[in-house]
Amino acid sequence: MPDLIPLLSQILNGLLAGSYYLMIALGLSMIFSLGGIVNLAHGAFYAIGAYLAVTLADRIGFGGALVVSPLIVAVIGMIVERYLLRRFYTADPILGLLLTFGLAMVAEQGLRMAYGAAPIPFSIPPELRGQVFIGDFVYSRYRLIILGITALSVLGLWLLLTRTAFGKVVRAGVQNPDMVGALGISLKPYMTAVVMIGVGLAALAGVLIAPIAGVHPAMGQEIITFAFVVVVIGGLGSFWGVVAAAAIVGMTRGVAAHFYPAATEASVYLLMVLVLLMRPRGLFGERIQKFE
């Protein structure tokens, strides 16, 4: 069946490519689940992460940037949460949308003013370059590293949410914030931490993608829509739903690229429509009391 090999390699590639959206989608999902805010500025944190990587890599190397850039962005996230997002958790959701949409535009224009609109050069560090061959399937060594870091982040996040006291409070806060409050626990510091983790992951993705995609001010927009679609397909509040959706979205793109390239991106939206028609809460969406 030689005809099947190209299709299979597209599906495999798509599965792996799903990891690019995953780190962004997980942060989006967490912030929405706990705070009720759809963070349209999430792509901006991804872009800032990438730009910081370019700036920092000259001084502390790519490995250093991989650690420091997400930390800096997490601190920016903390400030944004403390002084902006916090005012909107209980407000009309449309206000949170307006705020984060505005923030995204301010951040994009800020990057344009600071660095110019042209893409700025950045490459894979020489020691991470190379390809891996599995039969006729070729893959980039660097992308396998991205996959590994994504897998570690997902595992770490899952352990944090399920095996720690911090995770228990966050999960309780998602389901029933009033009850958490009645038990004398303030969700405020938890929400700050969730935003810091969420935008930190977005920045980590930005650092990882910077060597293989153009680093330009609108790069956040390029990825945010997909990440959002992944969250919607996976289902709100469902950790593994988002992980599964990232894989499914990636594979759908691969199949579309094989049969009908012009619909590579549109196929993902079609998938979202189908999922929403059949399961309005997404594939694995939980019933979250406060959003019903």
Cβ 122 to other proteins, closest distance in Å? 5
Cβ 205 to other proteins, closest distance in Å? 13
Nearer to other proteins, 157 or 209 (CB): 209
Backbone angles phi, psi at 134, to 5 degrees: -120, 100
- Supply 256's token pair: 């579309």
Contact 101, 221 (CB under 8 A): no
Nearer to other proteins, 69 or 74 (CB): 69
Nearer to other proteins, 147 or 157 (CB): 147
Give the angle subtended at the CA of 48 by the CAs of 199 and 272, to the nearest 5°. Answer: 55
Nearer to other proteins, 107 or 157 (CB): 107
Cβ 253 to other proteins, closest distance in Å? 7
Tell me the residue length of the chain. Answer: 292
Nearer to other proteins, 157 or 169 (CB): 169
Instruction: Give me the residues that bind other proteins (CB under 8 A), please.
Output: 6, 9-10, 13-14, 17, 20, 36, 87-88, 90-93, 95, 98, 108, 112, 116-124, 129-131, 136-140, 142-143, 177-178, 181, 211-219, 222-223, 253-254, 257-258, 261-266, 289-291
Contact 285, 279 (CB under 8 A): yes
Cβ 134 to other proteins, closest distance in Å? 12
Please identify which residue in the block is written with the tokens 């399920």: 162
CB 286: neighbour CB atoms within 10 A? 17
Long-range CB pairs of 223-228 (<8 Å, 24+ gap) are: 223/20, 223/21, 223/24, 223/43, 223/46, 224/24, 224/40, 224/42, 224/43, 224/46, 224/104, 226/21, 226/268, 227/21, 227/24, 227/25, 227/28, 227/42, 227/43, 228/25, 228/28, 228/38
Cβ 172 to other proteins, closest distance in Å? 14
Which residues neighbour 126 within 8 Å (Cβ) at sequence distance 6 or greater?
Answer: none
Cβ 58 to other proteins, closest distance in Å? 13
Nearer to other proteins, 57 or 157 (CB): 57
